Chain A
Amino acid sequence: MNQVIISAATEGETNPLVPNVWEMGVVLVGFAVLMFIVVKFIVPMFEKTFAERAEAIEGGIAKAEKAQAEASAALEEYKQQLTDARAEANRIREEARAEGAQILADLKEKAAAESARITAQAHVQIESERQAAVVSLRSEVGTLATTLAGRIVGEALNDDERSARVVDRFLADLETQNAGAAK
């Protein structure tokens, strides 16, 4: 080694700034080969992994965001349904109340109608019974009058006073009967 250095130094011809052309060639070719491998294989392979990794991370974030959005949408929907259900319940309650009132009113009306009908029927019945009474009364009054007349005639002039009383009473009866019939 020492000898080499000494011999190189004693030669004194080699300038360190003057390149060896063959060495330049080897470096040029070597670097070109390396560049080729790097451009063709190494950089694409690493970039692919980097891109995949970034995508995996960003994909995860996107997925989480999607889940979040879905959850909030579901919550929104649930709230909406709850509001709807409440409104529905209110509506049904109102309807029931209205229906109840309607039913009550109907019943009242029906009851009123029924009572009116019953009253009317009673009136009719009473009227017909009165008619019947009047009719039977008439016939009875005839008989009574005849009987009375017979009695009066039978006991004729025995007692003027009594006959007068009988007539008075008869007339009074008749009057009351007439008044009842006229009613």
Chain B
Amino acid sequence: MHLPAILPWGAADGFSKQMLLVILSVVIIATFFLLAARKQQLVPGKLQFAGEMAYGFVRNSIAKDIIGGKDFMKYVPLLFSLFFFILVNNIYGAIPVLQLPSFSHVGGAYVLAGIVYITWIAIGIKKNGLKYFKLATVPSGVPVYILPLIIPIEIISNFLVRPVTHSLRLFATMLAGHLIVMIAGSGIEFLIMQENLLLKGTSVLVLVGAIAMYMLEALIMALQAYVFTLLTAIYIEGALHADSH
């Protein structure tokens, strides 16, 4: 399934293309935003304006709208980093030569979902103490005789399933998109090699379909970055205001 490593060349384990792309994404994001933020002026230039738009999107549309209140600023750096880290690593899948969304390898998705998982549980405990686990698993206003049924469901859905779905949602959409584009590409290559002219012609149909799928994938890449960040904000908000849920 995985490509062989770059260093040492062709080995099963080692420094892979995916690792290179992840490091590159950090460089790209840091460079872009540092350049955009470098010459801060009250009336922004084009680059600064783009940077402010991007930063303001995460800050206002995700952090402020979901978490709200006066403490949302504390979580802006995490949400901002997550959004652009995932976005850039996903968009790799739509760039011809790179053509590899980093999160089509499950490890990265596990790491990010794990960071978020630890973060929101820590926030919940810090905010409410150990009572947080009771608040998070025992919903208020439910008849006592249903509680034995509800509590295990809440435990499973909040503390066991949530990080898994959080990571696998990102990983699975990226892998699937990557596979579809790859399969379409291979299919075109296979059909165009055929001797039969009619079979050769059908490659055009596959090409049209592949372009449509490519567009759809590009949309999903951006969307998944948004969804992952949005869910993170929702989890943090849930942990912050566990007592009012």
The answer to whether A and B interact is: yes
By a CB distance below 8 angstroms, the chain B residues around A46 are: 37, 40, 51-52, 55, 59
By a CB distance below 8 angstroms, the chain B residues around A180 are: none
By a CB distance below 8 angstroms, the chain A residues around B55 are: 42-43, 46
Q: Does B121 contact A (CB under 8 A)?
A: no
Q: Does B68 contact A (CB under 8 A)?
A: no
Q: Does A107 contact B (CB under 8 A)?
A: no
Q: Are A17 and B106 in contact (CB under 8 A)?
A: yes
Q: Are A23 and B16 in contact (CB under 8 A)?
A: yes
Q: Which of B217-231 contact A (CB under 8 A)?
A: none
Q: Does B146 contact A (CB under 8 A)?
A: no
B244 to chain A, nearest CB (A): 28
Partner of B18, one of A14, A23, A37: A23
User: Which candidate, B27-35, B133-141, B155-163, B207-215, is the interface stretch facing chain A?
Assistant: B27-35
Which of B2, B44, B51, B108 has the largest count of A CB atoms less than 10 A from its CB? B108
Q: Are A22 and B13 in contact (CB under 8 A)?
A: yes
Taken together as a complex, chains A and B put the C-alpha atoms of A26 and B15 apart, in Å, by 10
Q: Does A38 contact B (CB under 8 A)?
A: yes
By a CB distance below 8 angstroms, the chain B residues around A23 are: 16, 18-19, 22, 105, 107-108
Partner of A41, one of B15, B22, B34, B107: B34
| Nearest B-chain residue to A49, judged by Cβ | B40
Q: Are B22 and A27 in contact (CB under 8 A)?
A: yes
Q: Does A4 contact B (CB under 8 A)?
A: yes
Q: Which of A23-50 contact B (CB under 8 A)?
A: 23-24, 26-28, 30-31, 33-35, 37-39, 41-43, 45-50
By a CB distance below 8 angstroms, the chain A residues around B105 are: 19-20, 23
A interface footprint on B103-122 (CB within 8 Å = 1, 0 otherwise): 00111101110010000000
A50 to chain B, nearest CB (A): 8
Q: Are A39 and B107 in contact (CB under 8 A)?
A: no
Q: Are B81 and A34 in contact (CB under 8 A)?
A: yes
Q: Does A154 contact B (CB under 8 A)?
A: no
B36 to chain A, nearest CB (A): 8
Q: Which of B38-66 contact A (CB under 8 A)?
A: 38, 40-42, 44, 48, 51-52, 55, 59
Given contacts A24-B110, A34-B30, A42-B34, contact A14 B77 (CB under 8 A): no
By a CB distance below 8 angstroms, the chain A residues around B30 are: 33-34, 37, 42
Interface residues of A (CB under 8 A from B): 1-2, 4-5, 8-9, 14, 16-24, 26-28, 30-31, 33-35, 37-39, 41-43, 45-50, 52-53, 56
Nearest 6 Cβ contacts at the A-B interface: A19-B107, A45-B37, A27-B108, A24-B107, A23-B107, A49-B40
Interface residues of B (CB under 8 A from A): 1-4, 13-16, 18-19, 22-23, 25-26, 29-30, 33-34, 37-38, 40-42, 44, 48, 51-52, 55, 59, 73, 76-78, 80-81, 85, 102, 105-108, 110-112, 115, 168, 175, 182, 186, 189
